[in-house]
């Protein structure tokens, strides 16, 4: 489902399933894939070091084509338009469906370093942290997690809704295990997600 872009991170694959529809989770109306509504989302960190590493491994920046809602009456999310769909393995998938992880239930899921569907889901969750959807997020400035940083995702009823990033490798300059980021979607707060992420980090035997 991934394609490779140059340093601009804006290139799209030749085939993006134009005129396909998904239902926007925000306005509940169909929205169409066009060159105006489709853009590329780079997967992984945005630092020069992280991007250079991606070029060395993948020959470019791994990315996914994403669809923003094109309906004029859609209210958007916080200060952003609405990410409505993901072009995955040749098909447009509604974002709400893309977040579903088979067998996820209420699980704590380790996300392997490198490219995977779970890593792409994590990047979509990171997008929510930038929208300022909730007033308490207005000072949030989380950086997108590099592809080589350990990450975990928490689900509720099979839907990915929270993530954490951490470091536990002394060879990478961290003397002690370090928790970098915890984020929970506004729609899933006060449901124990952050507690589950913290427990998994500090007491992994109790996951």
Closest CA to 151 of 110, 195, 121: 110
* Residue-wise pLDDT tens digits, 95-112: 999 999 988 788 899 998
Tell me the pTM. Answer: 0.86
How far is the C-alpha of 121 from the C-alpha of 204, rounded, in Å? 22
For a pLDDT cut of 90, what percent of the chain falls above it?
A: 51
Please compute the mean of the pLDDT values over residues 170-193 and round it to a whole number. 83
* Residue-wise pLDDT tens digits, 142-180: 788 889 888 999 999 999 999 999 887 766 666 778 888
| pLDDT of the residue at 122 | 92
Q: In this model, does residue 44 exceed pLDDT 80?
A: yes
**Which residues are bridge partners to 38 per DSSP?**
67
């Amino acid at each position: 489902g991934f394609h490779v872009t140059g340093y601009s991170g804006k290139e799209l694959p030749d085939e993006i399933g134009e005129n396909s529809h998904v239902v926007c989770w925000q306005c509940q109306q169909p929205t169409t894939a066009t060159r105006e509504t489709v853009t590329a989302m780079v997967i992984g960190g945005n630092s020069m070091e992280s991007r250079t590493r991606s070029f060395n491994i993948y020959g470019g920046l791994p990315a996914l084509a994403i669809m923003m809602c094109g309906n004029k009456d859609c209210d958007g999310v916080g200060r952003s338009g609405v990410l409505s769909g993901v072009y995955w393995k040749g098909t447009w998938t509604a974002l709400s469906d893309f977040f579903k992880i088979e067998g996820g239930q209420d699980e704590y899921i380790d996300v392997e370093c490198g490219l995977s569907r779970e890593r792409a889901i994590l990047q979509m969750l990171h997008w929510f942290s930038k929208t300022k959807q909730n007033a308490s997020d207005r000072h949030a400035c989380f950086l997108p997690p590099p592809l080589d940083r350990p990450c975990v995702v928490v689900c509720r009823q099979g839907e990915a809704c929270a993530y954490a990033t951490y470091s536990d490798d002394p060879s990478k300059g961290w003397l002690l295990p370090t928790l970098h980021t915890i984020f929970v979607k506004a729609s899933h707060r006060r449901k124990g997600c952050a507690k589950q992420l913290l427990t998994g980090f500090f007491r992994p035997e109790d996951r």
